[in-house]
């Protein structure tokens, strides 16, 4: 593979081609220092395959979810293009078919919305917004806190013996919202770190 500079006009053309192929467009889940932008299909992308397999979209979903309108014609095109099998056709009143969107599977990518010839699908804001981590370190620390694995994160990266790693982890903990930060501090069970974080606050 050869790396080359791609200017904005070519980027927009490439994005248009990817949209034309119903690829899911998403980037690294971080507000700063985004390292990649993907255009993925539901056939080979590990993240999308995991949503298909386990029917849980929480790891990669956007802050939107697809909804079918009342005048859905039940053509089934959205069901065919959905990359994570989040849409299925169901029978409604008087046998009228309509698109049902599974909220546990829908990642809010908008592929179905672009594909609906009758403009009966739209993206709506989710009732609970996901908080996008500041950067990759924040994302890793937040995931470790959520899974109760802060101590393992520190041990695996030898953070206790590496001041730069420890500073990055402590800085990431400080930038977490209130409840996740308290969860992370509780997992550390260290008076030194609790006092340090308390003084930084």
Domains defined for the chain, CATH in brackets: 43-125 (3.30.70.20), 136-200 (no CATH)
In the prediction, which pLDDT does 196 show?
Answer: 57
Mean per-residue pLDDT pooled into runs of 10, the chain (201 residues): 84 91 83 80 86 76 90 93 94 86 91 93 88 69 72 63 65 71 68 56 55
Dump pLDDT digits (tens) for 41-100: 988 888 888 888 877 766 677 889 999 998 999 999 999 999 999 999 998 877 889 999
Determine the longest span between alpha carbons in the chain, in angstroms: 68
* 44 SS3 class: coil
In the prediction, which pLDDT does 50 show?
Answer: 82
Distance CA 18, CA 4 (A): 19
Dump pLDDT digits (tens) for 53-68: 877 766 677 889 999 9
For residue 30, give the nearest of 129, 174, 135 by alpha carbon: 135
In the prediction, which pLDDT does 79 show?
Answer: 96
In the prediction, which pLDDT does 156 show?
Answer: 64
In the prediction, which pLDDT does 17 show?
Answer: 94
Give residue 124's region: left, alpha or beta (phi > 0; psi -120 to 50). beta
């Amino acid at each position: 593979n050869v790396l080359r500079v791609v200017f904005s006009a070519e980027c927009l053309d490439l994005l248009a081609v990817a949209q034309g192929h119903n690829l899911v467009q998403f980037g690294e889940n971080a507000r700063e220092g985004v390292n990649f932008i993907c255009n993925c299909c539901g056939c080979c992308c590990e993240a999308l395959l995991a949503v298909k397999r386990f029917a849980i979209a929480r790891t990669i979903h956007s802050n939107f979810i697809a909804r079918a309108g009342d005048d859905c014609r039940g053509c089934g095109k959205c069901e065919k293009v959905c990359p994570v099998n989040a849409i299925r056709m169901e029978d409604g009143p008087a046998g009228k078919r309509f698109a049902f969107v599974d909220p546990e599977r829908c990642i809010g990518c908008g592929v179905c919305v672009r594909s609906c010839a009758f403009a009966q699908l739209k993206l709506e804001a989710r009732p609970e917004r996901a908080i996008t981590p500041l950067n990759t370190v924040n994302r890793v620390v937040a995931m470790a806190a959520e899974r109760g694995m802060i101590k393992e994160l520190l041990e695996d990266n030898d953070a206790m013996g590496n001041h730069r790693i420890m500073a990055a982890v402590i800085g990431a903990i400080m930038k977490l919202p209130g409840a996740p930060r308290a969860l992370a501090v509780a997992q550390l069970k260290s008076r030194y770190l609790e006092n340090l974080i308390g003084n930084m606050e």
